[in-house]
Each structure stands twice: as structure tokens, then as C-alpha cells.
Amino acid sequence: MKKIEIFDTTLRDGAQSEGISYSLEDKVKITKILDGFGIDVIEAGFPASNPKDEELFVRLKNEKLLHARLAAFSSTLHIGEDAESSVSMKKLLEAGTPTVVIFGKASSVQVKEVLKISDEENLGIIRETISYLKRAGKEVIFDAEHFYSGALTDKEYTYRVLDTAADAGADVLCLCDTTGAILPSDAEKLTREAVERYKELRIGVHFHDDIGCAAANSLLAAEAGAAQIQGTFLGMGERCGNADLSVIMPSLKFKLGYEFDCNMKYLRKTANAVSEISNTRIRNNKPYTGKSAFYHKAGMHIDAVKKYPPSFEHIDPSLVGNERKFALSEISGSNTLLDRVRQLVPDANKNSDELMRAVTVLKEKEMFGYHYEAAEASFTLLLRRALYKYEPHFNIVLHKTTDDFPSANGELTSCSVVQIEVGGKTEMGSSLGNGPVNALDNALRRALSVFFPEVGNIKLLDFKVRVIDATTTTAAKVRVLIESTDGEDVWTTVGVSFDIIEACLQALQDSYEYKLLKSF
């Protein structure tokens, strides 16, 4: 059994990603999520860099983690700085983590051009920093910054840096591709050299993705003998991001046979949870966790997958908590629709009334302009209605949306009123909004929350409008797609009308109905 350690730096390196701004509560939540998933080491932050990270470690002292070791991050001492009086060392130790991560320059060029000190001075501060932390009883991971680029330009000095860290007592030597530009062949060769040179120590690797090779380099490094793989959960990070653990981990397990303690069946759920807190989106075609990762559209492909899934799937999607999806489109074939009908009517066949009814309804909707390939949630509801297998949770009695002109302070103010009926009872919701769709959504949500508090968890992620027949100009029909999430799942709904507000309302109604269908 090949064991390997997973080191997550989403909260430190990932937080440097453009558009990411974690609150203290966000960081605590992500720590618990990653720990529950089974991550071995969570690098929670840089306590000497900002008060938020300093406070985070105070909070985490009161959190009982199930599995992970917490790590705090810092640079080496500065030239002329004494470890005993160093503020950064003081805050690093006050973080109270069993593991600390120290980064230092492993490239003579970087020492000269950035630190502006001599090669020997750099070795001295690395030695003093690690020795001090080892005397304090810490597990020390030394991040050899610019290792790979340094090894290509001045290998002798790069190894002097690693020798110094090893002699000072470092437990893990982490080889860093700081600029994310190392090629896979060099990554594998240099990692293997380091593993063979430091047989008594664990070698870690830390890749960035500036040339799109971070995941491949991480896998090759594992095969070369690296004992620890560092990365961020969704590949978040500065510039082009870090090595993506959500891609690397399942490849390590299912392709290379490595063992670690993360439960891959919860991979997609964990990815969605981290994405939600980070206010980012998982792209549809992302390997393993994307909603299109196991999506089949061509009729021949669908037929083959039904007979023998490995025809067009490299693993069983359930292994990573994902699911197989077949497109409902002009090229997907009639058997796809029959399979969906059988989920509700198990004894349906090609000649059954249920299938004919479903085909008729689908064709009518598509003729009008609906497009269900990208709106799976709306199709689920459509099929249930066509087969009389669904009773709506609410009905919209009336709605009215208006805009105020001229706009106040340059911002359009809209007002919407929605009346709904639930089980013979009616409720009216009204709201202002930044535009008519926002006002309509707020009003509908307000009315629904009286009967269904769970709709408060729904957040709209994306909103798209497409003109179906541009030749009719302003009289054209429009198709609206709305993507929603409740923090765990993501779904898309569709509406079509000559009136854009009506199309939006259809998509919104389906979005809330789909959430309630899942909940009850």
C-alpha cells in the first residue's frame, strides 16, 4: 500500500487568489470542512502577516479537529534578527500548532536579487530559524522557495540550502515550483534526485499552475517518491493558481493506487462547500467534480455507456460523489428519454403512453424555444408534470413589477409584488430591488418563506438571457437560464416567453420548486 500525505493551503496560499476574501468565520468553516473530509495537514494562515490570521489560530485552539494537523506559516528570520526576540517567531509559536511551515530562498539568484544578502547569510538564517523551532518542539516543514528554477540554474547552491535545512532538523523538505513554470519531465527528474539524496527525510512538493502543469507535476512527483503533496482544494491561488487537490487526490487514488484518509465519495460535496464559501464557481467541465464531468450527449456515446460505462468514462462517477448525466437533445437518442421516464414509471416501454406523453410535451416545449440540455432541474419538473407525478408546492396567483424613471442616484429602482397560494392559503410578498429581476426574486422569496423557510438558503449564482429569434427584433421571444445553489447542490432552470419578466419568473418558480422537491 502506497501512503501519501495531503497538505492543503487553501486558507493561506489559496486566499491570495484574485477575488477571494475570507472572513474569520469563513476560515473556521473551511477548516472544519477540510478536516471532516480527511485532509492530513491544513495550513491555516500566516499569523505574523495580519490580525485576522492571528485571531484565527486563537479560535482554532477551541475547535476539536477529527483528523487534520494544523500548520502555521512564516518566513525565515530576517538578516540580523534574533530568534528569541523575533515578533514573527513569537506569533508563530503562539499559534499553538503542532506543525509550522517555514519558507526560505533555495535559489542563489533570488537570494542576490530579492533578499540582497549573501548566499552564506541566507544559509545562516535558514539554519537558525529551523533550529529554534525544533528546540520549541515543532514539526518543521521547510518550503524551499524557487527550488525547481534554482536547481536548473545553480543546483549546487540549491542543495546546500536543502542540506542546511536537513542538518538543522527539518522534518519535511518541500520542493517549491514558485513560478509555476517547471516542465513535467524536469519536475519528475529533480524530485527523484531529492528523494534519493534525502532518504531519511520526507520530501514534499508544492506546484503552481502558470503553465497548466501543476496537477501533472504533482502526480509525477508522487511517482518519484514524494511523501507529501501540497495544493489548494480547488486550485485557487495567486496568478494562475496552485496545484488543484480536487483533481490530484482522485488521480492519486484511482489511477496510481495511493492511499490517504480522505473519503473520495465526498469529494464533490466538499468541493461545492468550499466553492460556496469562497464565492467561486466550479466550472462545468472540471475533472471529477464538474457537473459535466460525466455528461454524455452524442447518441452513440450514450448507447455505449449504458452497455459498458468504461467506453466513455474513466471511473465510476459515484466514486467521487458525482453522477452520470445524459443530455436530452436532438442528438441524444430516444432511449435517453425512456430511461428518464422509467425512473418515475418503472414498467414504461417504447410503446407506453407515458413515453408518448413525455415525447409530446418535450417537443412542444422545444418548438416554443425551451432548451433543457442546460436546465436539468426544469426538465425534471417538466417530466414529473407530464407523467402526473408531481403536485406543485405553490402557485403564483399574480405578479406585478414596475421600474421608476428617472432612476435615483443613477441606480434603477424596481418594485415587485407577488401573490402565491399554498394549500388554500395565500400570501403576498413585495420588495424593492436593483432591477426588475432582483425585485421579483426578493418578492417571491419573501412570500414563500412564510410557508417554506428553507428557501432562504437559496442563492442565485448566474443569470443568462438569450434572444431566440433575433429577426423579430424587440418582438422576439427570450430564453432565461438561472443557476441556483443551496450551498450543497447547484441546479439550472429555464423560462421562455415574449416577455422577459415572465421568462424570469418561470425560471425562478422552477428554481424554488426544485429546491422544495429535494427537501420534501
Contact status, residue 246 vs residue 271, Cβ threshold 8 Å: yes
Cell of 108: 542563489
**pLDDT value at residue 471:** 61
Distance CA 375, CA 496 (A): 12
Diameter of the chain by CA atoms?
85
Residue 483: CB atoms within 10 Å:
21
Which of 352, 420, 419 shows the shortest CA–CA distance to 386?
352
Distance CA 490, CA 505 (A): 19
**pLDDT value at residue 76:** 97
* Segment-wise mean pLDDT, segments of 10 residues, the chain, 520 residues: 94 94 94 97 96 95 94 96 95 97 97 96 98 98 98 97 98 98 98 97 98 98 98 96 98 97 96 91 93 84 85 95 76 67 88 87 87 87 92 94 71 87 95 88 95 92 82 75 89 93 95 92
Taken in order of first residue, the domains within the chain and their CATH numbers are 2-262 (3.20.20.70), 295-386 (no CATH), 395-519 (3.30.160.270)
**pLDDT value at residue 330:** 43
- Chain-centroid distance of CA 317 in Å reads 17
Distance CA 44, CA 97 (A): 10
Q: Which residues contact 306 (CB under 8 A, 6 or more apart)?
A: 335, 339
Pairing of strands 5-8, 41-45: parallel
DSSP code for 115: I
**pLDDT value at residue 339:** 78
- Chain-centroid distance of CA 252 in Å reads 18
Contact status, residue 482 vs residue 465, Cβ threshold 8 Å: no
- Chain-centroid distance of CA 249 in Å reads 14
Helix, strand counts (H, E) of the chain: 17, 18
Q: Which H or E run contains 296?
A: strand 295-296
DSSP reduced 3-state for 399:
strand
User: Which residues of 377-509 form beta strands (DSSP E)?
Assistant: 395-408, 411-422, 425-433, 459-467, 478-485, 490-497
Q: In Å, what is the CA distance from 351 to each residue of 180, 334, 357, 487?
A: 58, 12, 11, 41
Distance CA 480, CA 392 (A): 21
Contact status, residue 250 vs residue 244, Cβ threshold 8 Å: no
Q: In Å, what is the CA distance from 253 to each residue of 66, 244, 425?
A: 22, 15, 53
Bridge partners for 491 per DSSP: 484
Q: In Å, what is the CA distance from 412 to each residue of 156, 194, 402?
A: 64, 61, 11
Angle at the Cα of 435 (from 429 to 436), degrees rounded to 5? Answer: 50
141: left (phi over 0), alpha (psi -120 to 50) or beta: beta
Which of 35, 27, 32 shows the shortest CA–CA distance to 11?
27
Looking at 1-45, list the stretches that DSSP marks H as alpha helix, in order from N- to C-terminal side.
24-37
DSSP code for 129: H
Q: State phi, psi for 174 to the nearest 5 degrees.
A: -100, 120
Which of 516, 501, 355 shows the shortest CA–CA distance to 440?
501
Which of 385, 441, 375 shows the shortest CA–CA distance to 414?
441
Q: State phi, psi for 312 to the nearest 5 degrees.
A: -140, 20
Q: Which residues contact 444 (CB under 8 A, 6 or more apart)?
A: 396, 399, 416, 418, 420, 429, 505, 508, 509, 512
Residue 218: CB atoms within 10 Å:
30
Buried (b) or exposed (e) across 283-292, using 16+ Cβ within 10 A? eeebebbbbe
**Which residue has 422552477 as its cell numbers?**
510
Q: State phi, psi for 361 to the nearest 5 degrees.
A: -65, -45
Distance CA 355, CA 340 (A): 9
Distance CA 350, CA 331 (A): 18
Distance CA 409, CA 415 (A): 16
